[in-house]
Amino acid sequence: MSATWNILAAIVVLGLSGLPAYLLPARSETGQRVATAAMVAGSLLGLCGVAGGVGGAIPSVAGAAWGLPYGRFSVAIDAVSAVFLALVFVVPALGSIYGLGYWGHAQHRGTGRRLGLFYGLLAGSMALVLIARDGVLFLIAWEAMAMAAYFAASVEEDDPAVRRAGWVYLIATHAGTLCLIAMFALWRQATGSFALEPAPAMAAGLASAIFVLALFGFGFKAGLMPLHVWLPGAHSAAPSHVSAVMSGVMLKMGVYGIVRMTALLPVGPPWWGGTLLVAGAITGLAGIAFAIGQHDLKRLLAYSSIENIGIIAMGLGLAVLGRALGRPEWVLLGLGGALLHTINHGLFKPLLFLGAGAVIHCVHTRELDRLGGLARRMPAVTGLFVIGSVAICALPPLNGFASEWLIYLGLFRTVGLGGEPGFAPAAVAAVVLAMIGAMAVACFAKLIGTVFLGSARSDASQHGHDPTATMMGPMIVLAFGCVCLGLFPSIAIAPLEDASRTWAALAESTPISLAAVAPLGWISAAGLGLVAVVATFALISRITPRAGAVAEAGTWDCGYARPDRRMQYTGSSLGATLVDLFGLVVWPRNHQPAIHGLFPGSATFKSVVADTVLDRLVLPFFRAAGRYMSMFRVFQQAQMQSYVLYVLTIVIVLMVWGTMGAEP
């Protein structure tokens, strides 16, 4: 069986995996186990198909006519789609196993089966998006993915916050879909069909219009700022294993769309790459600035996903710029770094969301200021969460470092040192990337310090414990992937180079290679050396006998003889300096305590960082529009003669308009 047919079979199995649970009672765990087994089986079947694509044996396009008036059923895989398919066939399967302990049917009788149904449809539709080679089929799969994600994320519809987040997501995703419909309409006008095949030639203005529509349409799904408005609410409202799939995989469908369309379009002008670089820099910097100011554990991770999408967009922008200027090494470093960071983010971000889910499952709160001291009660989760945090901060020896290093190398080359032609403005993005990395370290230092260190800030935090094996197992697998790709990033060089050459249509005879411009062997040597040094010091500290008893004394208490759990840093205080520094972007609202008299009563301080775009621009605009649009209700009189008059008026206007445009 060919790789394409393997993946088609996997899509069917994943999409139908949630149906068996409906044949059993709502509280039955057997139906959930069957669904999980089907998810795992479908994923293994799909990975077999991906292996054929990565190995270079790319199958031809498989297609057939259908009964729809437009398009045809046409699917195929190549080296680019294989990279994204690997995430689709790994993360949802691990999330399904995690859901056995996190969202059991016995505890969630009203929502368990429904969540399983749409969870499987989400995984299957994402895989179909990646292999679709017809615009109409792509849109059908895209809409199926959007609706499956909506129902999976909004499964707790009794919660008003969940309903609100679901509606914002639904409106935003369909705004993006409208852009994609317009994009494919222009594509058909330019090429004569909806077939997603490289266009040999196209008018410059038409190609730029398609690029802009692709950037907006796919940017909504990816979470590029300011199109990210749905993302923080949906990620925080969804069950944690759904959040892991949405962040680790579904956002990458937007990235894939931009990658695919820029490959199909003719070589564009340099401003295409510059636009992606600027959008990525703004998204990355603003995303991590908003993350630092959050008090909700999952909302912080959601904004961190926006930051990483910005980093991926910067790498893609470098590749598009290199393609426009005829610099294949920029293409290899930019797209190779973007795709490697796509894979890396698909490992460490689900790990962090599953870790957050374990905390919420045991402590029943996600408010940072009510957590603390969990390292003693949840040591395994703490260790895995630290691995994910180090990886997302791009610190060696974990995987986030290698992908950002490739992007750094590409951006440094744009300076044009050594007599090579360059594009110096693009090098500014390297400075922004360094700022993003530093702020990410501060953000996750705050997160770990607030959640896992210190003392418990509430009674709920005192009852935390490590979860069951079904929840721990997927986290361990993801952490293992972060460690392996961090210590041995060279194993990804071959598929990344195949994908980059496929995207840019580089001939095999092109002398330059990704391994030559970015030797990664030193990362393995340095990482293994660092691990050896840390392990040696840890071993010495354990076997070295202590000279004597260590005297214990209380810490300096600043005059407070009996400090309690309230006398420690909070999430607000740890991030206050950086939040104030980016005050023009995040617009924090500080609720200061009012203190009066010699013996004032209790008072509180609270800092709120709302989403600037959604809460200060989009929602106020729609509220104002709703007030003014109510004036047009006068035309809705429920009288047939009025509606006939409206239709007649419009027909007359159109006839006059057409007559004015006709030649005499």
Residue 659: the pLDDT is: 78
pLDDT category at 623 given cuts 50, 70, 90 is confident
Q: Give the residue-averaged pLDDT of 494-512.
A: 82
Is the preceding omega at residue 226 within 30 degrees of 0, hence cis?
yes
Instruction: Give residue 587's region: left, alpha or beta (phi > 0; psi -120 to 50).
Output: left
> Which of 24-28, 156-160, 534-538, 660-664 has the weakest average pLDDT?
660-664
Which range among 218-227, 495-504, 542-551 has the greatest average pLDDT?
Answer: 218-227
Helices (H), 89-134: 91-102, 112-131
Residue 55: the pLDDT is: 52
Residue with more model confidence, 542 or 560: 542
Residue with more model confidence, 430 or 592: 430
Residue with more model confidence, 359 or 657: 359
The answer to whether 311 and 407 have CB atoms below 8 angstroms apart is: yes
Burial class of residue 453 (count of CB atoms within 10 Å of its CB; 0-12, 13-18, 19+): middle
Residue 631: the pLDDT is: 76
- Each residue's pLDDT tens digit, 112-160: 899 999 999 999 999 999 999 999 999 999 999 999 999 999 998 888 9
Residue 508: the pLDDT is: 63
Q: Which CA distances in Å does 188 have to 72, 182, 198, 439?
A: 13, 10, 13, 44
Residue 228: the pLDDT is: 93
| Exposure b/e, 255-266, CB count within 10 A at least 16 = b | bbbbbbbbbbbe
Residue with more model confidence, 654 or 461: 654
pLDDT category at 654 given cuts 50, 70, 90 is confident
**pLDDT of residue 664 exceeding 60:** no
Q: Which CA distances in Å does 400 have to 137, 163, 276?
A: 34, 34, 21
**pLDDT of residue 56 exceeding 50:** no
Residue with more model confidence, 470 or 507: 470
Residue with more model confidence, 588 or 381: 381
Please tell me the distance from the alpha carbon of residue 107 to that of residue 492, in angstroms, as a whole number.
Answer: 41
pLDDT category at 587 given cuts 50, 70, 90 is confident
Residue with more model confidence, 51 or 483: 483
Residue 256: the pLDDT is: 96
Residue extents of the structural domains in the chain: 267-506+516-538+568-592, 612-661
- Each residue's pLDDT tens digit, 412-421: 988 876 667 7
Residue 512: the pLDDT is: 83
- Each residue's pLDDT tens digit, 167-203: 999 999 999 999 999 999 999 999 989 999 888 888 8
- Each residue's pLDDT tens digit, 320-342: 999 999 888 999 999 999 999 99
Residue 517: the pLDDT is: 87
Please tell me the distance from the alpha carbon of residue 385 to that of residue 352, in angstroms, as a whole number.
Answer: 6
pTM score of the predicted model:
0.91
Residue 551: the pLDDT is: 63
Q: Which of 341, 304, 288 is nearest to 319 (CA)?
A: 341
Please tell me the distance from the alpha carbon of residue 578 to that of residue 389, in angstroms, as a whole number.
Answer: 19
Residue 445: the pLDDT is: 92
Please report the sign of the dihedral spanned by the C-alpha atoms of residue 467, residue 469, residue 473, residue 479: positive
Q: Give the residue-averaged pLDDT of 102-110.
A: 86
Residue 632: the pLDDT is: 75
pLDDT category at 389 given cuts 50, 70, 90 is very high
Please tell me the distance from the alpha carbon of residue 500 to that of residue 214, in angstroms, as a whole number.
Answer: 20
Q: What is the CA radius of gyration of the chain?
A: 27
Classified as helix, coil or strand, 63 is strand
Strand partners, 132: 75
Helices (H), 293-327: 297-325
